[in-house]
Amino acid sequence: MKEPISLNSAQPVGQNVIKLISNVCFSFFVFAVLIITVIAITYQPPDPWLQSAPALTKLFTQVENATFKDDTSVLKTGEDFSFPPAIPPSAVKQPITEAVIEISEKNITNSTIKSGCDDIKEVNCSDPHVLLAIEKFNLRLFKSIVFLEYGTPVNGSKPDECDVAWKFRNKKEKSWRKYRDFRRFKVGFRDNCTYKIVRTGAWHSGINARRPRSRFNTTGSGGNRNPKVAAPFRDTDIDDTLPKIGSDVAFRSGKYLYYSRGGDYCKGMNHYLWSFLCALGEAQFLNRTFVMDLSICLAAQYNPSGKDEEGKDFRFYFDFEHLKQMASVVEEGDFLRDWKKWDRTHKKKTPVRKVATYKITPMQLKKDKSTIIWRQFDTPEPENYWYRVCEGQAAKYIQRPWKAIWKSKRLMNIVTEISGKMDWDFDAVHVVRGEKAQNKELWPHLDADTAPDSLLAKLQGMIQPWRNLYIATNELFYNYFDKLRSHYKVHLLDDYNSLWGNTSEWYNETRALNDGRPISFDGYMRVEVDTEVFFRAKTRIETFHNLTKDCKDGINTC
């Protein structure tokens, strides 16, 4: 006969279940900690300027679409980031602040203001107190710019007017480049006979304070001037001159890295920069001078013709003067002439190392003593892209010198002038339309969300009425935004087309770079200027963040 089972000797079922659950939970916890630890160790942060290097490689090696999908994007360049300044702060003038003005006031001991105001009829523009009053006024009015230095005020067109020029930079621009403005001020007196500023004129209104600038030689080979084109000026703050090697001895004693043209030619500008900075980075790694082809082929997406355009100059888009300061470069044409001249006049030819494939790494070339290392890119795409040199193990050694690339100061002068004409006090909206608005499969709501009525309804909740509103857009129809004009002071890029018209500084300076031939203000220049003006706005409204729920790259990509 079986003995009955004692309840006291049996293990409680509830206790076993609790132990089992606790063991499972603890196992999951340990497993999760292990996974997080592995991710933390192996994670590679994305490229701070664009995307991760593997993502770019994957994108560029797609032969059917080797350019960026978003052809309206502008790659951020060195002046958009907080790099150490190219010029040491000690070499830059101290910004004019309220504290600096107070010190100046204490240093001025002999006032030109008389004890009584009855006999004061005219403003003395040369009185240092006038300049101090203007400096204080500007600090209160223009809070988004840094004032670097002032000229001496001069008489305006009326007895109570003074014109004065100054140099400044925008607080949102990380470069140390200076820009100029000159304005006319109406000056009055307070009850204690000190100077006060009644009002200021518009951007560049103080024409008497505008400094004379060197003119281009507009005389052609026949000696006739073009009567339809205004006498051009040169911006003396820009140095686009080509660096010269010098003598035969200097050429032979140098070390050069020369890239022949590859598959990157006529690709999108972002692709071009990614490849160019790889080449420049290798030159710096090898401690060599980079032989630079200044000729750029602008891809079809930036041109109204829909075709690639060759013969564009690097200096149209980027700051060559800054590049020369940051890297050792020589122009390709001069280099080839010096090379040919040396080989023609000397029995011992120039030592050259020809490199036929990107698979020969920069590390393998580090100890090469040849005068010229010549990388040749003769294989089919995508094997002939320059940036392939910086892939794999080379990515650990080659640092792309992003801080060497700034946008063209000529284009930035246009950006500054547009912002200045709005007195640096404006809001901006970026309205993406074009092909994306027409593609309802990828962007089903974009067209309706950027329609004038929708725009007006959304902007009224974000921007105060009658503010200056700059619209950065790829919409081709100029009057598309007319409904917004009943609520805002609307500004479009084409409102400022005189800044690149045939009487403008930009037109004449770029024409001089192009052997006297005028160039068009192309699509990439337009997007570059639009982007930079948008960046300087006080309130910025984006299409794919504020105006529509559609994803920037299409359905299900948010």
The pair of three-digit structure tokens given for residue 557, joined into one six-digit string: 């990509």
pLDDT at residue 227, as a whole number: 40
Cα dihedral: 376, 382, 383, 385 (round 10): 40
pLDDT score, position 69: 35
Helix axes 409-421, 523-535, angle to 10 degrees: 50
pLDDT at 191: 83
Neighbour count for residue 356 (Cβ, 10 Å): 12
- Other Cβ atoms less than 10 A from the Cβ of 133: the count is 22
**Tell me, what's the pLDDT at 37?**
61
Q: Are 123 and 155 in contact (CB under 8 A)?
A: no
Q: What DSSP string describes 52-93?
A: -HHHHHHHHT-GGG-S-S-TT-----GGGS-PPPSS-GGGSP
410 with 451: CB under 8 angstroms? no
pLDDT at position 296, please? Answer: 95
Q: Is the peptide bond before 401 cis (omega within 30 degrees of 0)?
A: no
b (16+ CB within 10 A) / e for 335-347: beebbeebeeeee
377 near 259, Cβ under 8 Å? yes
pTM greater than the 0.85 cutoff? no
Cα–Cα distance between 202 and 235 in angstroms, integer?
Answer: 21
**CA pair distance 168, 148, nearest whole angstrom:** 5
**pLDDT at residue 120 in the model:** 61
Assigned token pair, 494? 């084409």
Give residue 312's identity as a one-letter amino acid code.
K
Task: Please tell me the predicted confidence (pLDDT) of residue 33.
Answer: 65
- The one-letter amino acid code at 548 reads T
In whole angstroms, give the CA distance from residue 76 to residue 534: 13
Two tokens, residue 76? 């951020």
Q: What share of the chain is helix, strand, coil (3-state, %, to 5)?
A: 40, 15, 45
What is the Cα 462 distance to its own chain's centre? 27
> For the sheet containing 468-473, what is the strand order?
489-492, 468-473, 427-431, 540-541
Give the pLDDT confidence score for residue 386 in this predicted structure.
97
Distance CA(470)–CA(418), nearest Å, equals: 10
Dihedral sign (CA 398, 400, 403, 406)? positive
Q: What is the pLDDT of residue 11?
A: 52
Residue 557 has what pLDDT? Answer: 85
- Residue ranges of the chain with pLDDT lower than 70? 1-18, 24, 26, 30, 33-75, 82-93, 109-121, 213-236
Distance CA 99, CA 106 (A): 11
Place of tokens 């001249």: 341
Q: Which of 251, 269, 279 is nearest to 336 (CA)?
A: 251
What tokens appear for 345 in the block?
Answer: 């006049």
Outline where 158-308 has alpha helix (H): 248-253, 269-285
C-alpha span between 48 and 438 (Å, rounded): 32
